[in-house]
Amino acid sequence: MPAPYHGGCQCGAIRYELTAEPQRIVACHCKECQRQSGSAFGMSMLVDRADLHLTGETRSFTRVADSGNDNTGVFCPNCGNRIYNVPGYIEGKVVLKPGTLDDTSWLKPHAYIWLKSAQGWVPLPDGVVPVEGQFPPRD
């Protein structure tokens, strides 16, 4: 499904349009994504910040990631739904939470990351790139 893509929060106070294709989609099994999603993993979609156009008021929360970089989560102050993260390690990019898209039927992760924290009962699909830690792997 080609861009543009549309999405928003659970209560509808925030809406967005993504005007370009994502650069990558990953399923992250780190403990922070498990905590944030309330599930076995979180999904993340790297996009250019300039391609994401939001309407509605947001709030943010910044934490220090395992890498030592700041990671700022942007969410709806009404329903608490996380919309995207601003990673401290890369300029001009955001990590959109693809579960907030109106149509998620086309989503397919390019890689599964932080598998060293994965829940043992979650099977990996055939053909995915498994990564034990952060993507891309660091030396």
List pLDDT tens digits, range 45-83. 999 999 999 999 999 999 887 667 788 999 999 999 999
What integer pLDDT is reported at residue 102 of this predicted model?
97
**CATH number of domain containing 44:** 3.90.1590.10
What integer pLDDT is reported at residue 60 of this predicted model?
96
| Domains: count for the chain | 1
> Is 136 domain-assigned?
no
> Is 20 domain-assigned?
yes
**What's the DSSP call for residue 136?**
S
Nearest Cα to Cα of residue 134 among 85, 74, 65: 65
Domain range holding 66? Answer: 5-129
> Is 87 domain-assigned?
yes
CA distances from 35 to 42, 45, 52, 61, 117 (A): 9, 18, 25, 14, 12
> Is 134 domain-assigned?
no
- Model confidence, pTM: 0.83
Given a cut of 50, the residues of the chain with pLDDT beneath it are 137-139
